[in-house]
Amino acid sequence: MSTSSTTRHSPHRHARPGTTGPYRLVRTLPGSVEPPLLDAAQRAVVDHPGGPLLVLAGPGTGKTTTLVEAVAARIARGADPARLLVLTFSRKAAVELRDRMAARLGAARGPQATTFHSFCYALVRAHQDADLFADPLRLLSGPEQDVTVRDLLAGQLELEKEGRPHISWPDELRACLTTRGFADEVRAVLARSRELGLGPDALAAFARRTGRPDWGAAARFLAEYLDVLDAQGVLD
């Protein structure tokens, strides 16, 4: 009767020499791909000669594929990749676009692909007034804006207690100033006003025309909010 034994070795004994130290992770781009087969609608977009073009498409219908092929077609027709700009909404989508364009065109030929927010921020940074802003402008994040708005609203109550109110919110709203729901409503008003290009004066004029004291209070709040952003050197 014979016996056999199995020796279990630690995986560390099989480590290859020269692998000690920190690991370096390298992001590998996908390999080159063949042009996909496009349907008639996609082909019409890719062959569009130039000018504005609105394309309506739902999820999973091939929007990214069409966009990549439209870029490839323009470059094939002689367009300079440096003069092409591809914008999307999220960082994840921008990364996917860059990867797919690199696979389709080659890493050195792909145009700039980024988010709307990143491009606009870079544009503001490039043209900011050096006399007004000594330091680079910073974008206010959503959570930071929420904290700023709630702090300013809470400060209104403190000023009222000290007899120094400077924003007269209607009585039916004063009890709501410190609630998250009211802060969200105020943020929505600020966002809509900024979207429409309405400053405090224009918003106050609208409040007077419509007889809305709540909008008048919102206009004064907007003025204070903008003063705080200017003091902090940030943009919303």
User: How many other CB atoms sit within 10 Å of the CB of residue 179?
Assistant: 12
> Over 50: is that where the pLDDT of 4 sits?
no
* Residue 213 predicted with pLDDT over 70: yes
Calpha distance 110→141 (Å, rounded):
30
Tell me, what's the pLDDT at 229?
87
Stretch 100-120: mean pLDDT: 85
SS3 178: coil
Q: What percent of the chain has pLDDT over 90?
A: 37
Q: Given a cut of 70, is residue 35 above it in pLDDT? A: yes
The answer to which of 13-22, 52-61, 120-129 has the lowest mean pLDDT is 13-22
Band of the pLDDT at 174, cuts 50, 70, 90?
A: confident
* 18 pLDDT above the threshold of 70: no
Alpha-carbon distances of 189 from 49, 74, 184, 198, 200, rounded to whole Å: 41, 42, 9, 11, 12
pLDDT of residue 149 exceeding 60, the answer is: yes
| Spatial distance between the Cα atoms of 222 and 91, rounded to a whole number of angstroms | 30
Question: Between 23 and 134, where is the model more confident?
Answer: 23
Highest mean pLDDT among 10-19, 99-108, 132-141, 209-218: 209-218
Q: Which whole number is the average pLDDT over 192-212?
A: 90
pLDDT in the model for residue 80: 92
pTM beyond 0.85, yes or no: no
Query: Is residue 143 scored above 70 in pLDDT?
Result: yes
Res 13 pLDDT > 60: no
3-state secondary structure of 201: helix
Q: So what's the pLDDT on residue 133?
A: 66
Classify residue 211 as left (phi > 0), alpha (psi -120 to 50) or beta.
left
Helices (H), the chain: 40-46, 63-76, 91-105, 116-127, 142-161, 171-174, 180-195, 200-210, 213-232
Q: What percent of the chain has pLDDT over 70?
A: 84
Contact in structure between 71 and 111 (CB atoms under 8 Å): yes
Cα separations (Å) of 120 from 44, 94, 127, 147, 150?
Answer: 30, 15, 11, 24, 27
Average pLDDT across the chain, whole number: 83
Structure token pair of residue 44? 């019409």
